[in-house]
Chains A and B, each alone.
Chain A
Amino acid sequence: MRTAERPRWRGLAAAGVVHGAALAVLGAFAWILGDLLVAGLGQVDWAFLTAPPQDAGRAGGVGPILASTGILLAICLVVAVPLGLGAAIFLAEFTPAEGRLGRLVRRSLDVLAGVPSIVFGLFGNVLFCKTLGLGFSLLSGGLTLACMALPLIIRTAEASLRAVPPGLRQSAVALGMSRTSVVRHLLLPAAAPGLLAGFVLGVGRALAETAALIFTSGYVDRLPESILDSGRALSVHIYDLSMNVPGGDHRAAASALVLVVALLAINGASALAMGRFGRRLGAR
């Protein structure tokens, strides 16, 4: 009797802990979102999204800041996605899993992925702003963001490429298909959901970044006219409003709400895309 009861009790306790943890995560998220909604929703309208900030951001909107953020993200993606994908294909397909080179590269990437963003900021400042002479600009900021997102993108992309069943590769090679067309026609489509997830993580990290951008793209809140202009990202704007601008808290909340909604939208869109793609390939 005892032996039958104890595992049951333990099972219930374990289930309680698991459910409790899940609820805690959900609760924390709901709290943050609720807080932002209460504080910010009243202020977010079309004018807020398009107008330039006034009085250091206490009034006006975030139009130019959204534009700068978009440009920063675009530069980051244009650089990080092809580079990251290329590196991941090289790692997954052209280096053996336990080989020395592969191990070394992987280890370095894991270290890079954990480096605090302020370090990337200082690095980007020295390399892009000074050495390459790009100054405080959206280009410097975007490139720095790309450096930050790359380790994450490469590692997730490599993992999803390696997760493709080996039988697929084997049968393709047995049909006389070349390495490149195996990668292009089979592995990339099969790994696409994982690749997309990696890109979304990378974008998320870039969108939420503050420290790295203060040193590279600056905090000028005018509408940028070229990618060599300085520009202020949304997260930098939030930071500035809440730290340096007395009376800026309500605008900070409104901007944070915009940021969170943007993140949610990106996540939602990618989930939708993954679902479409999965159905097309017939994978479950």
Chain B
Amino acid sequence: MSLRLEAVGLGLAYRGRAAFAGVDLAMEPGTLTAVVGPSGCGKTSFLACLNRLDELVPGAAVQGRVLLDGADVRGPAVDVVGLRRRVGMIFQRPTPFPLSIRRNLDLPLREHGVRDRAERAARAEAALRDVGLWAEVKDRLDRPALALSGGQQQRLCIARALALRPEVLLLDEPCSALDPLASGVVEDLVRDLGARFTRVVVTHNLAQARRIADQVAVFWVRDGVGRLVEVGPTAAIFEDPQDPDTAAYVRGIRG
């Protein structure tokens, strides 16, 4: 089941220096939101706030709220482990664990209390099928994950998150470390996951955003702080942008 995610007045500062601020953005259930904008405008920082990964950075302070299905993810009753199961994150560089392919999927499942071995195996297989990797790896599940190609590694990372049955997927430039072919495979995969997940994809590739996104959010640096300058349905952003920076950006003039 996919859930609605909403940022309200969201901002993040590293040791008192604001990376981005004042972001109001609603991500409807099952939609794909593309987050675009020039380097350093706070896209990665924004994603990190959505599943509380900012807590890994000493001195990072969050303002505003993130609502998952209406409830604040920083509320006192929220358990962060459960939150991160429900809101999965994929990084720019594939980060398989230096373990076997099987262990890569097994370890997080075990961590989340899936005791039954057969069930873990079944969920791992389903996730690998979801990302189209099953046929490629089913005979080498006990081989090291690091021996896979970059594109396969990235799909393994997506499978690893999917095995936990998340409701939201955050993807930070999931294709930018891959060659064009592997990039196309991952892009299709993210699109075809479809309404099962609410997806937020950071990308520098505007053509890609145009192909896969339901809505596009444009970040821009204003006075040294990242701001959400425009958000709307994909067609509107690309064909009729309101903000002058957005207009120049989507026409490829700036950014």
Residues in A lying within 8 Å of B, measured CB to CB: 96, 165, 167-178, 181, 185-186, 189-190, 280-283
Contacts and interface: CB of A to CB of B under 8 A. Distances in A.
Given A174-B84, A178-B111, A167 B95 contact: yes
Nearest to A279: B144
A176 B89 contact: no
23 contacts: A96-B58, A167-B91, A170-B91, A170-B95, A171-B95, A174-B53, A174-B88, A174-B91, A175-B84, A175-B160, A176-B82, A176-B111, A176-B112, A176-B164, A178-B81, A181-B107, A186-B97, A189-B99, A281-B98, A282-B146, A282-B147, A283-B98, A283-B146
Contacts of A185: 97, 99, 107
A176 B108 contact: yes
A235 B122 CA distance: 58
Contact of A175 (B56, B58, B99, B161): B161
B246 interface: no
Nearest to A164: B98
B91 A280 contact: no
Contacts of B58: 96
With most chain B CB atoms within 10 A of its CB, the pick from A172, A173, A174, A186 is A174
Contacts of A165: 95
B85 interface: yes
B157 interface: yes
B95 to A, nearest CB: 4
A178 B108 CA distance: 10
A27 B199 CA distance: 63
Given A167-B91, A170-B95, A189-B99, A175 B108 contact: yes
A130 B111 CA distance: 49
Interface in B85-124: 85, 88-89, 91, 93, 95, 97-99, 107-108, 111-112
A174 B91 CA distance: 10
Nearest to B170: A174
B222 interface: no
B143 interface: yes
Nearest to B103: A185
B2 interface: no
B73 interface: no
A102 B65 CA distance: 34
A109 B112 CA distance: 38
Contact of B51 (A167, A174, A283): A174
- The 7 lowest CB-CB distance pairs between A and B, nearest first, are A282-B144, A176-B84, A171-B95, A174-B89, A282-B146, A176-B81, A175-B108
Q: Which of B51, B84, B111, B160: most chain A Cβ within 10 A?
A: B111
Given A176-B82, A282-B147, 11 more contacts: A96-B58, A168-B97, A170-B53, A171-B95, A174-B53, A175-B85, A175-B164, A176-B111, A177-B107, A177-B111, A281-B144
Given A176-B81, A177-B111, A282 B145 contact: yes
Given A168-B95, A181-B111, A185-B107, A176 B53 contact: no
A175 B108 CA distance: 7
Contacts of B157: 171
Contacts of A176: 80-85, 108, 111-112, 164
Which of A176, A178, A190 has the largest count of B CB atoms less than 10 A from its CB?
Answer: A176
A170 B55 CA distance: 11
B144 A173 contact: no
A192 to B, nearest CB: 10
Contacts of A170: 53, 56, 91, 95
A173 B98 contact: no
A175 B111 contact: yes
